[in-house]
Homo-oligomer: A and B are copies of this chain.
Amino acid sequence: MKITLAQQNYIIGDIEYNTRKIIASINGAKESGSVLVVFPELAVCGYSPLDLLEYNDFIGQCTKAIHRIKEHTKDIGVIVGAPFLSIDNPIKRLFNSAYYLYQGEVKQVIHKTLLPAYDVFNETRYFEPSQGQEIIIHQGKRIALTICEDIWQNHHHSECTHYPMDILISQQPELIINISASPFDYTQAAKRHNLLLDLCKKYHLPILYCNTVGGHTDLIFDGGSLIYHPSGKLVAQLPYFQEAIYSIDTDNLTPLYDKKEVSKTELIHDSLIYGIREYFSKLNFKKAILGLSGGVDSALVLALACKALGNENVKAILLPSAFSTEHSVNDSLDLCNRLDVSYHILPIHDTFQSALTSLQPFFNNIPFNVAEENMQARIRSLFLMALSNKHGAILLNTSNKSESAVGYGTLYGDMCGGLSVLGDLYKTEVYECCAFINRKKEIIPQNILTKEPSAELRPNQKDSDSLPPYHVLDKILFLYIEQLQGIEEIVSQGFDSSIVKRVIQLVNNNEHKRFQAPPSLRISPKALGSGRRVPIVAKYDF
Contacts and interface: CB of A to CB of B under 8 A. Distances in A.
A383 B369 contact: no
A74 interface: no
Nearest to A121: B125
13 contacts: A12-B540, A14-B538, A14-B541, A55-B485, A91-B155, A92-B158, A93-B159, A344-B362, A355-B382, A359-B383, A359-B387, A371-B387, A374-B389
A346 interface: yes
A383 B541 CA distance: 34
B519 A517 contact: no
Contacts of A351: 351, 354-355, 358
Interface in A516-539: 516-519, 532-539
A362 B346 contact: yes
B412 A390 contact: no
B390 A57 contact: no
A389 B359 CA distance: 12
A54 B383 CA distance: 41
Contact of A385 (B117, B378, B387, B487): B378
B359 A11 contact: no
Interface stretch (A43-51, A104-112, A296-304, A456-464): A43-51
A532 B485 CA distance: 31
A417 to B, nearest CB: 9
Given A382-B355, A486-B57, A489-B57, A158 B128 contact: yes
Interface string A330-361: 00000000000000101110110111011100
Interface string A400-443: 00000000000110001010000000000000000000000000
A370 interface: yes
Contacts of A353: 354
B374 A358 contact: no
B279 A537 contact: yes
A323 interface: no
A56 B93 CA distance: 34
A262 to B, nearest CB: 26
Contacts of A124: 117, 124-125
Nearest to A125: B117
Contacts of A364: 390-391
Interface in A267-320: 278-279, 282-283
Contacts of A72: none
Nearest to A381: B412
A315 B155 CA distance: 52
Interface string A22-63: 000000000000000000000000101111101111100000
Q: Give the interface centre of A279, A370, A379 by most chain B CB atoms within 10 Å.
A: A379
B390 A385 contact: no
Nearest to A417: B516
Contacts of A418: 512
